[in-house]
Amino acid sequence: MVWLRLIHILAGIFWVGSAVFTAVILVPAARAAGAEGGHFMERLMQQRRTRAALGAAMLLTVLSGFALYGRLSGGFERAWVTSPHGLVLGLGGLAAILAAVVGAIRRGRSSGVVGGLLVVAAAAMAIARYV
């Protein structure tokens, strides 16, 4: 379980950090650069390395989170899933899954939405420690 948590945390940090960096710093700079910035962003998102790194981080975060949720809930027992702790973690997981779907469909054109959803997911995970 320790390895699963470590994978979840490290992949999540990379995924959330990448989305927030893109939404807050990279996209505004590209917009300010005009057409050249747009071409840069297009090339960046088409690179195999970029897609592989973001895809791996997304997949590792979501799959390890799902496995952790299953283990914590005793195999998705209804009583635990509907408890305050289970609901908060479920909300975080749902936000992460939505971010993954939006990111996969939009392929880099929705960094603000993905970043926002990932911030919600991270906040839910932090709140769950106190519920």
* CA distance readout (Å), 61 to 21, 22, 39, 47: 18, 18, 29, 21
Instruction: Give the pLDDT score at 107.
Output: 65
Give the residue numbers spanning the domain of 121.
2-128
Q: What is the pLDDT of residue 19?
A: 85
Taking CA atoms, 23 is separated from 20, 71, 107, 111, in Å, by 5, 33, 13, 5
pTM assigned to the model:
0.80
pLDDT digits (tens, 9 = 90+) for 22-54: 888 998 999 999 999 989 988 988 889 988 998
**Tally of domains within the chain:** 1
- pLDDT score, position 131: 63
Query: Of 88 and 128, which is predicted with more confidence?
Result: 88
